[in-house]
Amino acid sequence: MPFYVYQCERDPVSGSVGYSRRKKIPLAGKKGPFYLHNQERFEDVKEDERMRRALEWSMKEAEMLRLLECDSEECAIVIDLKPKVDNNVSLYQLRDVWGYSYKAWTPILLHLETLFVDREANNPAQFKKRFSDEQCEREHIYEFLYLNGGYGSSSWSWGRIGSVNGALLLPDALKYFLSILNAR
């Protein structure tokens, strides 16, 4: 499930947005925006033993783009959800991320907006390089994942991705994520 930065340009006549792929990006890892956004808070927790608890955090797409040194007014983060499925285009724009960091791991909730869901294409690789959102339904969906890292550090890499993947949510993390969804 690769992540990309796309350059976005609004057509002044139709109002549609054209997307042009710029580069593949890391969201996880110690150089990714999730860790960079929280690094200072994690250092505070390491220094104060009384703060040894889970940390709630959130990020909007604009903050992720800023940490990736991209212009949030002209760019978007797009996930290719099914990169290896033949003749398939499944692209989602990443809008928000919420995390609940424990010492060694972090379950996260992604807020995605659909661009193309299982769209058939003869040449998906070419289609994904440049497209317009004229035919996008833009529905809001959510996905749970997890990171191998928390306020105690670690690699901050993605949790194992396989045929079955999901974040195990302890009651406190589930309560936090449900409060986010209930507030929307």
Find the mean pLDDT for residues 136-159: 87
Residue 45 is inside which H or E element, if any? helix 33-47
Number of domains in the chain: 1
What confidence tier does 23 reach under pLDDT thresholds 50, 70, 90? very high
3-state secondary structure of 79: strand
Find the mean pLDDT for residues 112-122: 94
pLDDT by residue (tens digit) across 37-94?
Answer: 998 888 777 666 555 677 899 999 999 999 999 999 999 999 999 999 999 999 999 9
Name the region of 37 (left: φ>0; alpha: ψ -120 to 50; beta: rest). Answer: alpha
pLDDT of residue 87: 95
Contact 102, 151 (CB under 8 A): yes
pLDDT exceeds cutoff 50 at 179: yes
**Residue that wins the pLDDT comparison between 40 and 168:** 40
**Residue that wins the pLDDT comparison between 142 and 168:** 142
What confidence tier does 165 reach under pLDDT thresholds 50, 70, 90? low
First to last CA, the chain: 26
Encoded amino acid at 16, one letter = S
pLDDT of residue 163: 46
Residue-number span of the structural domain to which 114 is assigned: 3-183
Q: In the 8-state DSSP scheme, what is residue 12?
A: T
pLDDT of residue 48: 63
Of the listed ranges 13-17, 112-116, 122-126, 172-176, the one predicted with least confidence: 172-176
For the record, the structure tokens of 116 come out as 């193309």
What is the spatial distance between Cα 48 and Cα 45, in angstroms, rounded to a whole number?
5
